[in-house]
Amino acid sequence: MTSGFGESTRASAPSPSCSGNSSNDAGDFECNICFDLAQDPVITLCGHLFCWPCLYRWLHHHSHSQECPVCKALVQEEKLVPLYGRGKTQTDPRTKLYPGMEIPHRPSGQRPQTMPPPPPPEVNPFGSYGFGLMGGFIPMATARFGNFTLSTAFGGFIPSLLNIHFHGFQDATVYGTTSGYPFGFNGFHGGNARGFMQATGQVQRQEDNVLKNLLMLIGFLVLLTVIFVW
């Protein structure tokens, strides 16, 4: 009895020499079949690590179906991912796990496409065009308002004149001066000045600012129309 226990104690001593795993952390890279450091490691889609020879032997010689030896998930050889460490590939046939057994090379990794190169910095093609457009608008507006202030119109036809101006028709009508709306004329003139100044002040080369200026101009025109109608 005593000698038996002693023998078992001595028997456990040589165990460390059989494997190079001296700490528990090494278990993270041990094959799930041979419980040793993985040789030619491959990893399945379910995340389990095996030696390629161990897994090949299980899938092709012993298993009744293509199942993961740990969790029985479906294993497809084309979806196995090999792990390439810094160690050299062992070509010595004496170190093979299963000598005398023909095992093909493990599946190769699937390398995804590289990232496309970043696009070159964008040149703003709308800056000059927008600026030109803005410049074009200002003189037209000035001319129209000038004609309007200089012209004399019959009270009843003022909306028609304004409508004609908005549609771009030439000023071909001349009417007599009406003394009934002096205050109204002054109001229009003031509004015109303020709108013009705002448009001028916010002219910039950026597309967003150009859009903002255009919208403000349209808004001003709408306000002018509303005031005139009332």
Partner 1 sequence: MAEKHNIKNPAVKRILQEVKEMQSNPSDDYMSLPLEENIFEWQFAIRGPRDTEFEGGIYHGRIQLPSEYPFKPPSFMLLTPSGRFETQTKICLSISNHHPEHWQPSWSVRTALVALIAFMPTNPNGALGSLNYKKEDRCALATKSQEAPPKFGTPERQRLIDEIHEYMLSKSSPLPQLAPSQASEEQSKTEEAKAQVNLENPEALPVGAEIPDQAGDRIVEEQELPVNANPNPAGVEASMESSSSVSSNQLLQKSDARVQNLKPDTRVQKPDDRLFTLAAIGLAIAIVVLLLKKFIKSTEYGAVFMDES
Binding residues vs partner 1 (CB under 8 A): 1-2, 4-9, 11-12, 14-19, 32-36, 46-48, 54, 57-58, 61-62, 64, 69-72, 97-99, 156-157, 159-160, 162-163, 166, 208, 211-212, 214-215, 218-219, 221-222, 225-226, 229
Shortest Å, Cβ 11 to partner 1 = 4
Least gap, CB of 46 to partner 1 (angstroms) = 6
Task: Count other C-beta atoms under 10 Å from residue 133's C-beta.
Answer: 13
In angstroms, give the least distance from the CB of 15 to partner 1.
4
Q: Which residues is 82 bridged to in the sheet? A: 42
User: What is the Cα gyration radius of the chain?
Assistant: 44
Nearer to partner 1, 72 or 194 (CB): 72
- Our CB check for partner 1 shows the closer of 161 and 192 to be 161
C-alpha angle 119-123-129 in degrees, rounded to nearest 5: 145
Torsion angle (degrees, nearest 10) of CA 52, 53, 57, 63 = -30
The residue among 162 and 199 lying less far from partner 1, judged by its C-beta, is: 162
Q: Give me the least distance between CB of 23 and partner 1, in Å please.
A: 11
H-assigned helices in 173-206? 182-201
Q: Which is nearer to partner 1, 8 or 91 (CB)?
A: 8
Distance (Å, rounded) from C-alpha 40 to C-alpha 30? 11
Do the beta carbons of residue 52 and residue 42 sit within 8 Å?
yes
> What is the nearest approach in angstroms of partner 1 to the Cβ of residue 70?
5
- Of 159 and 190, nearer to partner 1 (C-beta) is 159
Cβ-Cβ contacts under 8 Å for 41 (sequence gap 6 or more) = 29, 31, 49, 50, 51, 52, 82, 83, 85
Choice between 141 and 214, CB closer to partner 1 = 214
Min dist CB 96 to partner 1, Å, is: 9
